[in-house]
Chain A
Amino acid sequence: MSNSVIKSKQNQVFVMTEWCKGCRFCIEFCPQHLLYESDETNSKGYHIVRMDDNGNCIGCEMCSMVCPEFAIHVVTADEEPEKGEG
């Protein structure tokens, strides 16, 4: 399954594109208005969500919490494992 990794300067938003059903909840709830519905579709034909990668993601994780399909998760800068760890 192909996953989309959207990296901002501080935080990373991961969208499991095959799980996205295009409900737009994350788009509605993002306080920075960074997410949008793209022209791309997944194998079920849903328009998948993408993010404007302008470094403005504040890592609030609201997108991951409102996603009814658990298709988004966020790794904030302070959580990112250092190189060589694990």
Chain B
Amino acid sequence: MSDREHLEGEHFMSGDEACSEGAISAGCRFFAGYPITPATEIAERMSDRLPEVGGTYVQMEDELGSMAAVLGASWGDAKAMTATSGPGFSLMMENIGLGVMLETPCVVVNVQRAGPSTGLPTMVGQGDMMQARWGSHGCYSIIAISPDSVQEVFDLMIKAFNLAERFRLPVLVMMDGAVGHMYEKVVIPPLDKIHLVTRRRPDVPPGEYWPYMPDEDLIPPMANTGEGYRFHVTGLTHDERGYPAMDPEAQDKLVRRLVEKVERHRDEIIELEEDGTDDAEVVVCAYGITARVATIAVERARREGTRVGLLRLITVWPFPEDKIKSLARQVKAFVVPEINYGQISLEVERSVAGMARLALVPHMGGDVHNPATILEAIRQVIK
């Protein structure tokens, strides 16, 4: 291994750069993308770094092609990724759904900016959280995670690739422009301290391989194209052989499994950070850069004598509804600040199910919340 393959040590870098380094340390060796602010630096660094480590960087014609190339690379045994922002994320949606249907491990990074449409290209937003969940057509489950610091971008890129390889689906890393462009210290640990997961391989001879025959955990072992395992992948509803199966029974069997393979492993997937929620009367629930802004409001509220906890969603999808439900039985109210007009707050509201009050603190983007706004919402909600 060349010493450029894993830049162990302390660094001062941006969230976008840490994203690239996390990917490379996770074993990513293929990137296809189209530059877009505020995700451009990911593509830029990957174009520098991938050739150094024997990987492939392709600047594609657009985001549709980028996502298609990532799926193809993954079937050829590469850990593959792309990075984009809102407008490109919309264009990738169709092939993200294909990735779900073909059960193709890959990572899609969305450094969110303020939308809709072109919006504020260089400025922060969190408006793609629901698109991450429901953006592609049809019914499926997805995994999305959201880092709040540059160090965590590095760490979560490793986690994202591990989840993608484990569960065979596109994993969405929902960064935001603030975290992407923020410069902070990053410690890259020695490679032997990083836990890496690779996709499960078939242990049967090629003639006996059924590409979509799941193991007990609902995840089928995956052979690479060109290894001698002859198989067929299609976006059509398919049976265990991978052959098109045009009937409601096959549809029921396949879609249930695509959803259940995520939902059944919620405990394995979901990662949360809690601060002072044990005896809290109010819980602020936030993710990404907004969670970091919210800590200031939480500290100020505590100084005023309010028992406030912070629940930070590191995993946003699948949504940690069980955690919210159990907190809802204990607290008076939830405060949900986010840089949109209310997306994850809808999920919190659903999970709370009337057991506690809920205050959304919307912010339309362009910059982050003023902590005073969140503090005021905390004061109002317990009045």
Contacts and interface: CB of A to CB of B under 8 A. Distances in A.
Interface size for chain A: under 10, 10 to 19, 20 to 34, or 35 or more residues? under 10
Contacts of B243: 61, 65
Interface size for chain B: under 10, 10 to 19, 20 to 34, or 35 or more residues? under 10
A60 to B, nearest CB: 8
B232 interface: yes
Chain B contact surface mostly: loop
Nearest to B233: A65
A20 to B, nearest CB: 19
A31 B205 CA distance: 13
Contacts of A61: 243
A31 B207 contact: yes
A66 B244 CA distance: 12
Contacts of A31: 207, 230
A62 B207 contact: no
A29 interface: yes
A54 B243 CA distance: 25
B230 to A, nearest CB: 5
A29 B233 CA distance: 13
Contacts of B232: 62, 65-66
Contacts of B244: 65
A66 B243 CA distance: 11
Interface string B207-220: 10000000000000
B202 to A, nearest CB: 15
A61 B244 CA distance: 11
A1 B230 CA distance: 32
Interface string B200-239: 0000000100000000000000000000001010100000
A75 to B, nearest CB: 15
Nearest to B231: A62
A29 B226 CA distance: 10
Nearest to A30: B230
A41 B223 CA distance: 36
Contacts of B207: 31
Contacts of A65: 232, 234, 243-244
A29 B230 CA distance: 7
A82 B243 CA distance: 25
Nearest to A66: B232
A62 B209 CA distance: 14
Contacts of A66: 232
A28 B144 CA distance: 38
A26 to B, nearest CB: 12
Contacts of B230: 29, 31, 62
Contacts of B234: 65
A29 B243 CA distance: 14
Contacts of A29: 230
A31 B230 CA distance: 7
Interface in A55-86: 61-62, 65-66
B219 to A, nearest CB: 23
A61 B238 CA distance: 14
5 contacts: A29-B230, A31-B207, A31-B230, A62-B232, A65-B232
Closest CB pairs A-B (n = 3): A65-B232, A31-B230, A29-B230
Given A29-B230, A31-B230, 9 more contacts: A31-B207, A61-B243, A62-B230, A62-B232, A65-B232, A65-B234, A65-B243, A65-B244, A66-B232
